[in-house]
Amino acid sequence: MTSANSAIPARPDPVWDEVSALPIQGDDSALIPMSLTPLPIRVYPAYAKLGIPGAIPECYVRPEVHRRLLMAAHSLPAGVSLVVLDAWRPWRVQQYLFETLFEAIGTQHPEYDEAALLTHTREFVSLPSRDPQAPSPHLTGGAVDVTLCDQEGRLLEMGTGFDEAITASHTDHFERHAPQDERQRLAHKNRRLLHHVMLTAGFTNLPSEWWHYDFGDQLWAWYRGEAAALYGPAEVETLESRWRKQLCTPH
């Protein structure tokens, strides 16, 4: 186990064609809500709080992801909690985020062609996909967006806000660019701590986002060199889907 003070290593950006080509075993474990989880995990569904169309006021994950998040949270120093900002994400939310960022980048950089726009958008938002063989990571219940807070619920300094689509959001930014002030020094320390506890719990990190971690999806499998991913696309059970199952089951 490496020290929480160890540098965050540089990692390559995903080669998405290789990621989406990995087979999926198809673990069918049901999604479970994070909001019932005790401290030291806090749940703050960021997209619902921001009023993003289609966002849900809960963070759902696979059971094994839940267990590993607890492992990470319990290894944090006293007075520090893990905050889950997003987990399973409806496809329509993924589509909204992708299209919104794509348009914003295009407005800011009119010189970019379609390929460049796609590349820069995918740096921070993956393609919206419900393909059973290549789903968006957050559609699987294996991807989570997390940060840290103190015992009074105040978010710790991470250098950028959640979902800021700038190079300073790259996980190893402060390894490559020495912190210039106390705020950046705190962010450097906190990113290392978050990275350490999450990787020790078995997650992988998307290098362009300090907040994004994966377990069991294709992105996780690609970074770990696994032969296959565990999780394909998942859906949250609704009252309608429950009734349909009940009515179709012989009594």
109 found inside a domain: yes
CB atoms within 10 A of CB 64: 17
Q: What is the mean pLDDT of residues 58-84?
A: 98
Reduced to 3 states (helix: H, G, I; strand: E, B; else coil), residue 86 is strand
- Rounded CA Rg of the chain: 18
Question: What does the pLDDT read at residue 236?
Answer: 92
User: Which letter does DSSP use for residue 229 in this model?
Assistant: B
Question: Residue 245 has what pLDDT?
Answer: 67
Tell which phi-psi region holds residue 163, choosing left (phi > 0), alpha (psi between -120 and 50) or beta. Answer: left
Which tens digit of pLDDT belongs to each residue from 182-194? 999 999 999 999 9
Percent of the chain with pLDDT over 70: 95
Identify whether 4 is part of a domain: no
Look up 175 and say whether it is catalytic: no
Catalytic member of 58, 164, 175, 209: 209
Could you tell me what percent of the chain has a pLDDT over 90? 90
Residues 6+ apart with CB under 8 A from 236: 31, 56, 60, 88
Nearest to 89 by CA among 165, 143, 11, 18: 143
Question: How far apart (Å, rounded) are the C-alpha atoms in residues 40 and 87?
Answer: 17
In a domain, 1, yes or no: no
User: Does residue 8 fall inside a structural domain?
Assistant: no
| Residue listed under structure tokens 């105040």 | 154
Within a domain: 189: yes
Tell me if 145 is assigned to a ligand binding site.
yes
Query: Beta partners for 146?
Result: 84
* Mean pLDDT over the full length of the chain: 94
pLDDT score of 4: 78
pLDDT tens per residue, range 3-22: 678 999 999 999 999 999 99
Residue 45 has pLDDT above 50, yes or no: yes
Q: If we measure between CA atoms, which residue out of 41, 100, 104 comes closest to residue 71?
A: 41
pTM: 0.93
Instruction: Please tell me the total count of domains within the chain.
Output: 1
| Closest CA relative to residue 231, chosen from 141, 156, 159, 167 | 141
At 184, list the tokens: 């950046």
4 close to 197: Cβ distance less than 8 angstroms? yes
What is the pLDDT at residue 82?
98
| 120-146 mean pLDDT | 95
CA 36 to chain centre: 19
Look at residue 6 and tell me if it is in a domain: no
- Rounded mean pLDDT of 176-185? 97
pLDDT tens digits for range 215-237: 999 999 999 999 999 999 999 98
CATH of the domain at 231: 3.30.1380.10
What range does the domain containing 118 cover? 16-248
With respect to residue 147, please indicate whether it lies within any of the assigned structural domains. yes
241 confidence band (pLDDT: 50, 70, 90): low
- Taking 50 as the threshold, does the pLDDT of residue 1 lie above it? no
Angstrom distances, CA of residue 225 to CA of 172, 173, 220, 231: 21, 24, 8, 15
- Residue 165 inside a domain? The answer is yes
pLDDT, tens digit (0-9, with 9 covering 90-100), for 114-132: 999 999 998 899 999 999 9
